[in-house]
A and B are shown apart, each in its own frame.
Chain A
Amino acid sequence: MPQPSLDELALLLMQLDPADEVGARRFADAMREAADTSAGLAPTSIIAVLKCTDSVENCAATERETVLAAAGTLLETWMRGDPLTWTAPSPQSAAASTTASTTASATPAAPAIVQPEVPSTPETLPDDVDLDLLRDFINESREMLVGAEAALLQLETDPANDEAVNTVFRAFHTVKGTAAFLGLGQLSLFAHKAESLLSQVRDRVLTYSVHTADLSLQSADMLREFLDAVEIGTDGSPLLLPEGLRELTAQLEAAATGKEPDDPAFDASPLPTARLGDILVDRGVVGRETLEAVHAGEPTVPLGEALVHANAAPLKDVAQALRQQAQQQKQVRQESAGAADSIRVRTDRLDRLIDMVGELVIAQAMIGADDVVMQAGHQGLSRKVSMAGKIVRDLQDLSMSMRMVPLKPVFQKLARLVRDLSQKSGKAVEFQTHGEDTELDRNMVDAIADPLVHMVRNSLDHGLETPAERTAAGKRSAGVLRLSAYHAGGAVVVELHDDGRGLNREKIVAKAIAKGLIDSGKQLSDHDVFALIFAPGFSTADQVTDISGRGVGMDVVRRNIEGIRGTIEITSAAGQGTTFRLRLPLTLAITDGMLVRVGTERYIVPTTSIQLSFRPNADQICTVAGKGELVVLRGETLPIVRLHRLFNVQGARERFDESLLMLVGDGDKRVALMVDDLLGQHQVVAKSLGQGIGRVDGLSGGAILGDGRVGLIIDVGQIVSLSRNGPSSDESVGGDRRAVA
């Protein structure tokens, strides 16, 4: 043992000021030198020393004291001649470890080094932290982690994808750097560990295996939990470290048993592109074997040159391939530059902008309809007005598009879910996504995320069979779950298809009868039977599993989807699979409505709740006890709701042969709404009636109509319940009386 040199090291360490970065580097250099020169040091010990120096050099300034203290302990162990291990200091390990462990096992399950109480790692956030910066950091990091997760999933199918590795690496690296800058030592440290693992994958020290994949995904989760904890900590409450942090840290270290590379300056590394050899093979210029043989022959010469030397490929083709590579590099650079080409805007400002553009459209329409403009002899003026109108409409389209975001993040989240669930359930699943660039209003994207999670769980648990069942049925052992999104008829359709066993009609009917939902399934169509699974409390799973079937089922999904004015339908074929089809409006802000006239008033009835409108014949109408009015339509009797009575409107048409009936509502909550006239279909921007009035029964809000007046939007569901409870309530009695008086 070269004791003097170690003594020198100890001296250097004692004199070192934790704030002195240059000194720390010098110390690290000296330590590496000592490790190099010392004979008889076990390889694991050398690795420990190298890890230690890496930490000393790369730790945040606030942590250096802790790291140096740990390095001191390592040095002591070294002096005793015991095998060395290095565990980067963290408060948990500090609390847990009391003695210097001398194990040199590859899995440092127990922290190997005595760590002093950590004064520099804060229990709460640092006092001087800039909260705005911190929030930005949290948001940005979350976004990066979403990207990282997507890349990790990409690696599942394509483990050699360097670009994906780099994306993940970049995300972890950025989190690490910023966290260190903000004084979030623990977070930075953990990100470093996660990053190190990936840098080894990138540098081909490690191959990307299932284990690496799991660890990386868990790391992404852990970082996210960390961010949540930090967010909670922004109000000054203590920073709770996520559970399982230590275990995962240990696993990460165990996985990275090779030499830990120096903290790479990522920005300087070349941008990820296809390799020259790959391009040449793809183009069919040269075979993979030849290529490898040539490369093995002249490993130091650039591949292109080597190929030409060996006459394996014509110069022209190599040059072409080189050009293509250069172009790709340029493209990648542009893409990464393009990613930063956006700014954050507060959503309330955006909403205000959209509102104001809406006003502009209406104001412009009012100018266009003005008598002066419409008069003959003002061609110049009317041309200018219509030109302004075109610009205003473009502006409206543009402002609407600002709220639109692609479905991609939701799909990515689901991909992750499928991966986890398939591992848990032992069902092999191939998850395919299509049309993830389809855009939806941001609010809608948020609103469908949870229902989709539920549906995916459901499909995996109930839809897809186990590999054994599938093989027995003559199918591929891996099930296919396909999620696709596309535009259709002014709406966005999101489809979830599985190629599993399909819905079992008999089982559903039996269950529905047992639950008292139906009497018998005889006269029900498949469509009606499948719709039963949306009934509250309905679940056909034979047993409650960990994945789904907790009693709250598809009824929640349907309610959520209908809450955003969407519809859901099922098609299924036994043995071939099931498809859930969600049809969603493009945006929540715009309602498709039918403008109806009732006396002097106009109302908007949402088109989605209208089934049909018709003028009844006298023989279709019958009354009950002289008061309750019913209409018979296709053998069904429906109560008639006179809107003018309910809303106390003067001058409405009273006779059935003069007015129209609109069939609204669904299921057993259908009524025939009596109105004077239909004025046409309009797209309106739904607004609240203002806090001054608050909620009004029977109305869901208001909207500015083309003439600048406010139109009221009818809430069909409430109309139905009003018409049932109405006659007994004081208010409507008063209303009726007033109408008569």
Chain B
Amino acid sequence: MSTATQPATSQHGMHSGKYLTFFLGNEEYGLKILAVHEIIGMMPVTRVPRTPDFIRGVINLRGKVIAVVDLRIRFDMEVVETQDVCIIVVQVRGIQMGIVVDRVSEVVNIAPEEIEPPPSFGVDVPTDFLLGIGKSQGRVKLLLDIDHVLTSTEVVQAASAVAGASTEPDASPTA
């Protein structure tokens, strides 16, 4: 029995380490510090046509063109532009991308015992983009699997033609 639970705890325990936390609304998310390249202020984003909505567009990062993902749209949250909005530049599998977040919070160290596996809410609330839930200083931090969040965008992009058609009808009656 213990052998069955052992891998589970160690699997989530291995996500322990330093996290950069940021806010989306009231929710605090954690991003593995190793994936974070830099934090930059909001800058004009050029919208790229014919891409999924959650891709805000592209920015000029010191001469390099990188894509920027809006996490609020990605997670189907209400889009509110706050004062402290900024872009966290992350590097995933050698690809640099920016993610738009409401506010950067702090860097915390999360110990293995503070991490729990992601909860399950059924199909309505997908949680596969979470590595786990960290509890530090009495607050809950949602530890993001940024690799999953960003690399699945390409998959989403390819499927967007179909997805766009199937989700759009909700909006179309207003037309």
Contact = CB atoms under 8 A, between A and B. Distances in A.
B161 A709 contact: no
Contacts of B44: 708-709
A355 interface: yes
Nearest to B53: A738
A547 interface: no
A356 B63 contact: yes
Given A731-B161, A734-B164, A738-B168, A690 B49 contact: no
Interface stretch (B1-9, B18-26, B152-160): B152-160
A693 B55 contact: yes
B58 interface: yes
Contacts of B139: none
Nearest to B58: A710
A699 B63 CA distance: 19
A692 B172 contact: no
A40 interface: no
B171 A738 contact: yes
A221 interface: no
Interface residues of A, number: 40
Interface in A346-399: 355-356, 358-359, 362
Interface string B135-171: 0000000000000001001100100111011001001
Contacts of A733: 165
Contact of B65 (A689, A697, A698): A689
A692 B66 contact: yes
B58 A690 contact: yes
A702 B58 CA distance: 9
Contacts of B66: 690, 692
Contacts of B49: 646-649, 696, 698-699, 712
B48 A699 contact: yes
B165 A734 contact: yes
A740 B50 contact: no
Contacts of A696: 48-51
23 contacts: A601-B46, A646-B49, A689-B48, A690-B95, A691-B94, A692-B95, A692-B97, A692-B150, A693-B55, A693-B67, A693-B157, A694-B157, A696-B48, A697-B50, A699-B48, A699-B49, A709-B44, A710-B59, A730-B162, A734-B164, A737-B168, A737-B171, A738-B171
Given A692-B66, A734-B165, 19 more contacts: A646-B49, A647-B50, A689-B48, A692-B67, A692-B69, A696-B51, A697-B50, A698-B50, A699-B48, A702-B46, A710-B57, A730-B161, A731-B161, A731-B165, A734-B164, A737-B168, A737-B171, A741-B171, A741-B175
What 7 A-B pairs are tightest by C-beta distance, nearest first? A692-B67, A647-B49, A359-B63, A730-B165, A734-B164, A692-B97, A710-B46
Interface of B: 44, 46-51, 55, 57-60, 62-67, 69, 94-97, 150, 153-154, 157, 160-162, 164-165, 168, 171-172, 174-175
Interface of A: 355-356, 358-359, 362, 601, 646-649, 687-694, 696-699, 701-702, 704, 708-712, 729-731, 733-735, 737-738, 740-741
